[in-house]
Every structure is written in structure tokens, then in C-alpha cells.
Amino acid sequence: MRRLGTVLTAVVLAGAAVSATAGPATAASATGTAAAAKCDTAGWGSALKSADANDHQPLRSIRTGRHDCFDRMVFEVPTAGGKPVGYRIGYVKELHQDGSGDRIQVGGGAILEIRVAAPSYDPGTGGTTYPGKAGKPLPGVSVAGYRTFKDTRFAASFEGDTQIGLGVAKRLPFRVIQQKNQLIVDVAHS
């Protein structure tokens, strides 16, 4: 009789352990699903995105930010009446500087080439408006600790366009948003 009681106790305890293990796993799966729904990137994609230039106003600044679902790069381009800024953004195997064709090393698992129709100089005076140097990290921008962004490189400002290399963890979906005097590039975490 004592053996039967021991066996029954063992079976009950084993069942409780399985239930306890299954409970949190199910909760984690539900939480993961909620997080995935929260980070909806429908319509983003990794294909080339572009818009024609209406104006070539000087680039003023570039900054980055981290968000729950993506990393963000913002280009400040003050335009008359908030006109859209032209751009051409897509993944490349290597980054080659406009004008010279020189290869620029960009860290990360993939390179997103960003061309913005905004020179880093004032076309009227020739004065510098954004102090980027070819092949160097973007001035004042650190992507240390970012989940998606791994490296930034200024490539060139040539014939009215500024060219940037953005090193990312791997080829990930991205989107481009324009609002007032900003061109925004978001790259998803997954």
C-alpha cells in the first residue's frame, strides 16, 4: 500500500511539474505573439525606395534613435514650405563614393546606401552645412548599443546629393517617412 501511495505522489508531482513548465511557456508564447504584433512591419520591405527631388536644400544634421521595434536615422533638411526631399535608399554589396568610385568600408552584416537630395554645403556660398568627411563615421552620431545599426559612414556630397553608408546587422525591412523638414529612415530589428 505504501508503494502505491509513493507512486501516486510521484505521478501527481510529475504532472504538476509538467503543468508548471507548460504554463510559463504558453504565457511566453503569447507575449512573443503580442510583441510581434506590436512590431508590425507590413509594407516595409527591403527593396529599393526612392522619391524624385523637388529641391536641393542643404543638409543640416543627421541623428539616430533607438525604438522598441526599429532603429531610426533622421536627416534634417529645411525646405521652403516643407517640400518633400528626394532620396534613393537601398541595399548594396559595397559602398562606392560618388565622384571617385572609391570603396568605403562599412561595418555590419549588410549595407544600406542612403542618398538624400540635399548637399552638405550651401550651393549659394559653398560653405559647409554638414561636416561629414569621406570614409569617416557621421559626426556626432554614435550607434554603440543599437540593436540594428552597426556603423555609419559619410561617403560624399556630390552634385547636390549626400551619400551615406549605414551598416546594419543584416538585410532587414526598412521604411522611409517624410515629415516637414525631415527625411526619416527606420530599419526593423527583425
3-class secondary-structure state, position 61: strand
Q: What is the pLDDT of residues 111-149, one digit of tens each?
A: 999 999 999 999 889 999 999 999 999 999 999 999 999
User: What's the pLDDT band for 4 if we cut at 50, 70, 90?
Assistant: very low
- Cβ neighbors of 102 (< 8 A, separation 6 or more) are 96, 134, 135
Lookup: cell for 14: 510529475
Mean pLDDT, rounded, of the chain: 84
pLDDT of residue 37: 52
Domain extents in the chain: 1-38, 49-188
Verdict on whether the full-model pTM lies above 0.75: yes
Per residue in 130-152, is it b (16+ CB within 10 Å) or e — as a string? bebebbeebeebebeebbbbbbb
Model pLDDT for residues 80-112, shown as the tens digit of each residue = 677 889 999 999 999 999 989 999 999 999 999
Q: Could you tell me which CATH class the domain 49-188 is placed in? A: mainly beta
Q: How many Å apart are CA 20 and CA 96, to the nearest integer?
A: 56
Q: Which three cell numbers stand for residue 119?
A: 548637399
